[in-house]
Amino acid sequence: MSSRILPRSFYARDAVTVARELLGKIVAHGETAGMIVETEAYLGGDDLAAHSAAGITPRTRVIFGPPGHAYVYLSYGMHDCLNITAEREGEPGCVLIRALEPLEGLDIMRARRPGIRTDRDLTSGPGRLTKALAITRADNGVDVTHGDLTVRRPEHQQHFEIDVTPRIGITKCADWPLRFVIRGNKYVSR
């Protein structure tokens, strides 16, 4: 199974390409796993919506580090959100994982998300999926090309169309078309 883990070269490209190609891939953490159905690219340069826009700080250091690592930050004081770093080392750029389709460990996910109505709410949002897969800031900076938190190729990736829209929940660069979703997938966030 480890042969299906995406290699570092997959991530050592521009963040837009990585964001598009991560759709349909699988995030696995421990006994739980899901297929990526929604991503957003955060760039360097004049992308003022990116955390890295303020330069290298204790928090943003990993975004400037080598590609293929997890950047996990606290959103709105409550939710941990998962990104995967892109671009070559020294260049900022990352991909926010906004939604998954649950694949493995559904019972574990349900136990971690008490109170939800349907399985649709399990991982259909950046704060939701980290809770369901138990990804926290303790995973910040880990290498996703080996270890407990990995991104893999599915055995049979089915064909899908990609919809492109502006990113969600930001005020700067709010009209840039950098959000990518699998068309028609019911686990895409609202």
Residue 102 in the binding site for DNA (CB under 7 A) = no
Q: Is the distance from CB of 30 to CB of 169 less than 8 angstroms?
A: no
Based on the shown chain and the rule CB under 7 A, indicate whether residue 83 belongs to the binding site for DNA: yes
162 belongs to the binding site for DNA (CB under 7 A):
no
Minimum CB–partner distance for residue 11 and DNA (Å): 15
State both tokens at 140. Answer: 């910040």
2 near DNA, judged by CB under 7 A: no
- 108 lines the binding site for DNA (CB under 7 A): no
110 with 122: CB under 8 angstroms?
A: yes
Q: Does 34 bind DNA (CB under 7 A)?
A: no
Nearer Cβ to DNA (4/75): 75
Query: Contacting DNA (CB under 7 A), which of 69, 128, 152, 179?
Result: 128
Angle among Cα 75, 37, 70 to the nearest 5 degrees reads 45
77 contacts DNA (rule: CB under 7 A):
yes
Count Cα neighbours of 19 within 13 Å in the Cβ-side half-sphere.
Answer: 28
The residue from 49, 103, 106, 108 that contacts DNA (CB under 7 A) is 49
Q: Which of 167, 179, 180, 182 binds DNA (CB under 7 A)?
A: 167
Q: Is 176 among the residues that bind DNA (CB under 7 A)?
A: no
List residues binding DNA (CB under 7 A). 40, 42, 49-52, 54, 57-60, 63, 71, 73-79, 81, 83, 94, 96, 113, 115-116, 121, 125-128, 131, 167-171, 189
